[in-house]
Amino acid sequence: MNEKGLSPIVTTILLIALTIVIIAIIFLWFRGMVSEGVTKFGKNIQLVCGDVVFEVSYDSGTLSVVNSGNIPLYSLDIKMAGDGGYQTKSIRDFNSADSWPSSGLKQGSAFSANIGPEMASPTELQIFPVLIGTSTSGKKTFTCGGQYGQKLTL
pLDDT (tens digit per residue) in 3-38 = 677 788 888 999 999 999 999 999 998 887 776 678
Q: What is the pLDDT of residue 74?
A: 94
User: Is pTM, for the whole model, over 0.75?
Assistant: no
CA-to-CA distance for 115 and 112, rounded, in angstroms?
9
Which of 47-51, 66-70, 96-100, 131-135 shows the lowest mean pLDDT across its residues? 96-100
Q: 53 forms bridges with which residues in the sheet?
A: none
Indicate the average pLDDT of the chain.
Answer: 86
Q: What is the torsional sign of CA 109, 113, 116, 117?
A: negative
- The mean pLDDT of 56-77, rounded to a whole number, is 90
Q: Which burial class, exposed, middle or buried, applies to 89 when counting CB atoms under 10 A from its CB (0-12, 13-18, 19+)?
A: middle
First-last CA distance in the chain:
86
Q: Which residues pair with 85 in a beta bridge?
A: 82
C-alpha distances in angstroms, 73 versus 7, 47, 54, 56, 94? 66, 15, 9, 13, 17
The size of the chain, in residues, is: 154
**For 37-65, what is each residue's pLDDT tens digit?**
788 888 888 889 999 999 999 888 888 99
Q: CA angle, 29 as apex, 23 and 34 as ends, to 5°? A: 120
Beta-bridge partners for 75: 130
* Amino acid present at 135: S
In this structure, CATH architecture of domain 39-153: Sandwich (2.60)
Residue 117 identity (one-letter amino acid): P
Helical (H) or strand (E) element with 9 = helix 8-33
* Residue 26, CB-side half-sphere exposure with 13 Å CA sphere: 6
